[in-house]
């Protein structure tokens, strides 16, 4: 019986370990499946050329108070639990008209969209990216409290429990900077633990796999109880 119980513990630990290493990676460089918009007097538009390479996004702000050009990838969504997960957002940025070397560039925020409601979390600034593309990187931990509702009929904060389908994007904004443009390419968002480049990826467990593990555990528990009652 002790051996059976040890097997049950091992199976449970394996199930937990495999599930815990799931990772979400969202990338895009052509922006054909994005929903673009704005908060205030700013715009986000797609340009077919001039990216790194090919297409790019144009975020142009005409600002007194802070305004945002916004966009989210509409052909990918997830119902994975997100709260408490580490994330890294990477964007290739390029200075455009009105940008200047002594400035801070544009503010960047992470966007999540749920059921027609858009939420944003301020991450930082790009700095002046110069006249060739350079990569801006922002990291943190996802919590509902970090987001502010920007538009839509939903609740004041997003649901990151996994009960609500979530899409991702970003916004570029400015405050008191006049009219300024920055270009963006190669959107990359990683949510969850980062696997080292030379590490062997740990497979995730599908719903079917989890169900089979649950059946196996139940069968072992039943067998253990039968033997223990003799």
Give residue-wise pLDDT tens across range 112-126.
999 999 999 999 999
All structural domains of the chain: 23-203 (2.60.120.260)
- pLDDT by residue (tens digit) across 180-207? 999 999 999 999 975 433 333 334 444 4
- pLDDT by residue (tens digit) across 93-109? 999 999 988 788 899 99
How many CB atoms are closer than 10 A to CB 141?
Answer: 10
Classify residue 33 by its DSSP letter. T
Residue with the larger pLDDT of the pair 167 and 64: 167
* pLDDT at 4 (0 to 100): 42
* pLDDT at 230 (0 to 100): 53
* pLDDT at 200 (0 to 100): 36
Q: Is the pLDDT of residue 49 over 60?
A: yes
Q: Are 105 and 126 in contact (CB under 8 A)?
A: yes
């Amino acid at each position: 019986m002790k051996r059976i119980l040890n097997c049950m513990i091992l199976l449970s630990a394996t199930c937990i370990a495999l599930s815990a290493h799931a990772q979400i990676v969202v990338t895009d460089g052509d922006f054909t499946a994005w929903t673009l918009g704005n908060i205030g007097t700013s715009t986000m538009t797609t340009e077919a050329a001039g990216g790194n390479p090919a297409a790019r996004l144009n975020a142009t702000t005409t600002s007194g108070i802070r305004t945002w050009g916004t966009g989210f990838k509409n052909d990918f969504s997830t119902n994975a639990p997100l709260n408490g997960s580490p994330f890294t957002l990477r964007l290739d940025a390029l200075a455009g008209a009105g940008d200047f070397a002594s400035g801070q560039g544009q503010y960047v925020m992470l966007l999540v969209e749920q059921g027609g409601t858009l939420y944003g979390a301020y991450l930082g600034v790009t700095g002046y990216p110069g006249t060739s593309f350079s990569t801006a990187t922002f990291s943190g931990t996802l919590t509902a409290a970090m987001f502010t509702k920007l538009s839509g009929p939903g609740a004041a904060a997003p649901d990151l429990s996994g009960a609500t389908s979530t899409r991702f994007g970003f916004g570029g904004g400015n405050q008191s900077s006049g009219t300024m443009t920055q270009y963006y390419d190669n959107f990359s968002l990683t949510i969850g633990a980062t696997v080292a480049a030379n590490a062997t990826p740990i497979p995730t467990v599908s719903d079917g796999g989890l169900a089979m593990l649950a059946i196996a555990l139940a069968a072992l528990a039943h067998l253990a109880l039968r033997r223990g009652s003799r």
